[in-house]
């Protein structure tokens, strides 16, 4: 038979061993959680604070269309061109974007600082034919030709 005193020592040793051996209890006791305390694949969205995942935490090309809910295509592109001297002030420019298809959506921005009168205005950007985004721009053409214009585009579906 085991005495009450011996039984108390066994229980105390068991509890002490649990604190020393268990990473979960050690993390709780120290009020910190380290990498070794986390089971692979166990962190969920609810465990991450809003705004806590930053660009530096995401590897290059780690997030694409497949990882974004409701997006099946995501293409980034740019286009440079010299506007023509037709004095109409409105010009349609075709920019090559591999994989762009009619029905895709386009977000385009002008990346050029303009030194001639009013800045060019992007009127629309649309995929009319495969692999081509047509940008419709309004220019101040009073300075003549030869000014280069740069655009950045995102094509998505």
Same domain, 53 and 71: no
Give phi and psi for 15, each to the nearest 5: -65, -45
3-state secondary structure of 15: helix
- Region 151-155: mean pLDDT is 89
In order of 34, 129, 144, the CA distances from 148 in angstroms are: 53, 24, 12
Give the residue, 44 or 139, on which the prediction is more confident: 44
The token pair that represents 42 in the structure block? 């166990």
Q: What is the pLDDT of residues 49-101, one digit of tens each?
A: 888 888 888 888 888 888 888 888 999 999 888 766 655 566 788 899 999 99
Residue numbers of the domain that contains 111: 65-156
- Region 19-23: mean pLDDT is 57
Question: Measured between alpha carbons, how far is 156 from 142 in angstroms, rounded to an integer?
Answer: 35
Give phi and psi for 90, each to the nearest 5: -120, 130
Same domain, 43 and 69: no
Same domain, 77 and 53: no
Domains of the chain: total: 2
Same domain, 24 and 69: no
pLDDT at 64: 81
Domain final residue pick, 35, 57, 79: 57
Count other Cβ atoms within 10 Å, centred on residue 61.
6
């Amino acid at each position: 038979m085991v005495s009450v005193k011996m039984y108390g020592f066994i229980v105390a040793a068991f509890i002490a061993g649990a604190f020393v051996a268990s990473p979960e209890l050690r993390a709780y006791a120290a009020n910190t959680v380290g990498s070794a305390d986390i089971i692979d694949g166990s962190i969920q969205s609810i465990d991450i604070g809003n705004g806590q995942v930053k660009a530096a935490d995401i590897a290059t090309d780690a997030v694409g269309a497949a990882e974004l809910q409701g997006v099946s295509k995501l293409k980034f592109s740019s286009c440079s061109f010299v506007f023509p001297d037709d004095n109409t002030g409105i010009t349609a420019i075709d920019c090559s974007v591999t994989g762009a298809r009619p029905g895709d959506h386009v977000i385009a921005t002008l990346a050029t600082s303009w030194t001639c009168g009013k800045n060019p205005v992007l009127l629309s950007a649309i995929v009319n034919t495969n692999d081509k985004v047509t940008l419709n721009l309004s220019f101040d053409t009073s300075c003549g030709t030869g000014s280069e214009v740069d655009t950045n585009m995102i094509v998505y579906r």
